[in-house]
Amino acid sequence: MTSSHRRAGTLLTLTAAGALALTGVTSASAAPPASSSPSSPSSSSSASSSIAASTTAATWTLEPSDQEVCSRPDTGPHNFYFLAPVTGSTTEIIELELHNLPPNVTSKGGAIHPDELNDNGEFNGFVHVAIGPTPAGEYDIELVASDGTDTQSSPARISIRSDC
């Protein structure tokens, strides 16, 4: 990757992070915990996990990020991005997905390529989510990262309410 591509990538990351702050992506640490459903993670202490069948430990880590996106009911679609902070190194593309999405919410996912992570050992991947008209509520979702061998996850939340 050329230095101009790296500078452009850094500028894009900073611009996107600023845009996220303006579009409703916030830390969920101040929000009260939503009730856990059988399909959602029960606590942040179990946020990261590896596939049991894996024979080697991952050389990368999806760092906990405790994120929340807020959108109003009966509007949309609105496009947002969750950040997927990964540290370490990899030889494979790390695919990023969102699981347990509520009704009328879709995701195009995202990816972290080896040269992006290996350049300095940390990289914020972007995971797209489009929120259409959705019933009001707090929805616990899961941010999942996988290189095809190891899979790790972190909890996240989508809040649908009129006071975003």
Q: How is domain 3-31+46-160 classified at the CATH fold level?
A: Immunoglobulin-like (2.60.40)
State if pTM tops 0.85. Answer: no
Q: Where are the domains of the chain?
A: 3-31+46-160
- Give the type of residue at 33: P
User: Looking up tokens 């459903």, which residue turns up?
Assistant: 37
Q: Is the pLDDT of residue 30 over 80?
A: no
> What is the C-alpha to C-alpha distance for residues 119 and 110, in angstroms, rounded to an integer?
19
Residue range 94-136, pLDDT digits in tens: 999 999 999 999 999 999 999 999 999 999 999 999 999 999 9
Q: What is the pLDDT, as a whole number, of residue 73?
A: 92
75 by Cβ neighbours in 10 Å (0-12 / 13-18 / 19+) ranks as middle
